[in-house]
Structure 1
């Protein structure tokens, strides 16, 4: 039954991708979308323009949104298991705040080209935030409560520095651009970004899926896991580092989109139970579908004006989160 549900999730996600390619400033029919997915350039100038819209704008944007959502959802699912806290997500551990500080520093310093420099700054900022959390947690890094409190403290500190820099060093235009980036932005998607984010998701997702039996044991607690022969400290550190790299990659190119890592794992557990061999791939599909739907709505609801996708993920994610909590099965 669960394999069929997972297959259904994959089919729905694929249909969502096709649907997102239809809508935008120019609305295309389903047959036109399929026709323009042909990699051979059309001879007619009008058809060639539409083909370019699909291949160069909508398809990389949709795929980047899917990779970002799947990566953030996967990170949320693993972090909730490691900390044994249903509220854990990349935001709570300070990773997203570190990425935000790195990005705004690049903007404030005027480093160019911004399209390359800002993702690099965000990535370095996220890794730095994780290093600070580990440093603050010290020897208690294997204690979920201490680790999470360290993440909250680091996140608040970095957010304060971010606000200070935005207030003093950026003008109205750059402040607006940064605020928009913090709520998510897929409009500048390129095939190179899609390759990097998809590659990170595939490698780290495969690593986590291979560890799913061990994660099932980890969910029972550190003492039970150690009793069953798991090297808890080493495994936690590798997984924390992997989730940091994954989140840093997604946030660097897509912005700090909230509620995906928090909400989606609960929905996956509601439909698939608590075994990670099902929860992890389901979280990836649900996360991809959530961000894809959010981005499609963000660019079509008030066209030609465009909303940040993070606004839509919050509007969708909060009710879904409350619904999942209400019907959450006991482990």
Structure 2
């Protein structure tokens, strides 16, 4: 599995034929690492040794796939936390040593996958020189978006600080990566269908999140209710009740006796969205119900203005984005 990842597409046609795919220059290796992963430091474990590096890289959505090895025993460290990136190292050959908790470390073997969020914790690795990896670089923000979309909350840093090995051998995770890389098309070094590319991006992030949470002991299905503090849940209740009156976030925060900034931070940490986004969604949901239940003769503008909408053009754009149709279409369908 993954023997031909980033070498050939699913039909066996070579990928990346017009790209530099190997090098014996440290400057080229370092430039590649900066592009594929983030700014970091590398040094050979034997002074003066040149690399014999494999450097292949392709993007699937917002995820960077790289087939990589230094080709000589090397230490990499000082991974830049400001990059905001997560790295998943999938060992195909040889061995790579990674840190775990405390002073512990682990040597990943072929079939092992290791994940670290370099935006939340420090990282280093030692490659034995005979190794080869298929690495993934995933923006932390993308993982937060996935958690919020599927589970309604963003895990706290206790999860993201976990450095761990998951999967082994012919795991379902590696099968997913194999499917993703076989979906590439050598004619343009991309997946031809943007929708398929988006779905693969989503599947990878979701499967990684489940593996990560499972190893960290986090129940994603119950985590939202357990994680969110009382004031976030109470704000949600108030916004659902008063959405028709178009309250402001500051007014909601005032009723709870907290600042708007505190409320915004709570929503960001535990829901992955802003309170304004939540309130806007509640208002649009209420508007849709009102349009579906409209009496004969009622108009979109009258119904919308009664619910506090002033800029009808902006409202229509947001409504279409959320529901895939205009308010007028909803009103007409409700009368059929």
Query: Do the structures match in fold with TM over 0.5?
Result: no
Please state which structure has a larger fraction of its residues in helix: 1
TM-score range (shorter-chain normalised) is under 0.3
- The structure number with the bigger radius of gyration is 2
Q: TM-score, normalised by structure 2?
A: 0.25
Q: TM-score, normalised by structure 1?
A: 0.25
Please state which structure has a larger fraction of its residues in strand: 2
Q: Higher relative contact order by CA 8 Å / sep ≥ 6: 1 or 2?
A: 1
